Structure 1
Amino acid sequence: MDETAVEQLGAKPLQPYVARIDAMKSKGDIPQVLAHLHLATGDAGLFFGFGSNQDFADSSSVIAFASGGGLGLPDRDYYTKEDDKSKDIRAKYAAHVTKTFELLGDAPEVARSKAAKVMDIETALAKASLTRVDKRDPYKLFHKVDLKGLRATAPEFDWDSYLKIAGL
């Protein structure tokens, strides 16, 4: 990696993505923006992961696959445990997120506020996420649904727009 070039570029490579997010007018814009970000990042697991995988019930088929995501820390336990070490890790992560917002140009108090919102969102996602043990159970991972079922599972999310942009 060319660290000198990375340092010289700073946040410039991120600006198109930040601008797309900043241009959002309502939560109704989330599916379109998320689809673009998933495509641009190779599906970095923003809010959820989405891609293709073998059908657990029929290994000769490849199907669309959605999975939990959206966590900056390794798994749900980092957000839910109340021991001192976990609290320290969360505090350090929040400081990292704050610094990231500052590097993108936010004033320190704005960056702290945004980082707190990120932590709130990620904590809510973590609480809804599978435990480490559950993630090893294929029966807890595989819930095959068609598009109608997907729409019923998350009716406020515009799956049609997301899938169209994602090329599916």
Structure 2
Amino acid sequence: MERRLVVKGAFYDVECARTADGSEPAGQFLDELKKGMWDGDPNDPDRPSDEQIYDYPAILAVLKHVATVGEPPHARAVNYLERGVWEFKRAAKRLSFFDTPGDGTYTERPKILDRTNGIESVYWWFPNFDHQLRLGHCFAKLGEKALPQDVQRSLDVREEDLTYDQDT
């Protein structure tokens, strides 16, 4: 079964990661967000949510920009979590992502901390990823930092997705 392709770009193809049970949490998140029906944000209890319906194309625009240009449209669109897992951000909504060549492996790509090792861009801290960016765990960030369980679930989804690649 093929993964859901969200955006195909010159730099990256953005796809939904698969979990051990074969589901695609990011695909479900995007489908629910498009309808204003995502229940993951306790600060947005209305259903359908006008905010979510508005956020859906904004999130897709960020994904398309990264896929076609190779860097974020603005510094607050992405954030590094840990151990090679990043997040796309829109208000309190978060979509974890990681990169892979698609063969069940990955190379940990943290945020670049030394400008001399970066590229010639205002986004020098954003690394060059493998061609496939996989969207994983989606969650609401309600405080200063992502909750440890959300970061761990993001890491777990990456491992499950890479295992799925190895098994196919």
TM-score, reference length from structure 1: 0.26
Higher relative contact order, structure no. (Cα contacts within 8 Å, ≥ 6 residues apart): 2
Over alpha carbons, which structure has the higher Rg?
1
Higher helix share: 1
Higher strand share: 2
TM-score, reference length from structure 2: 0.26
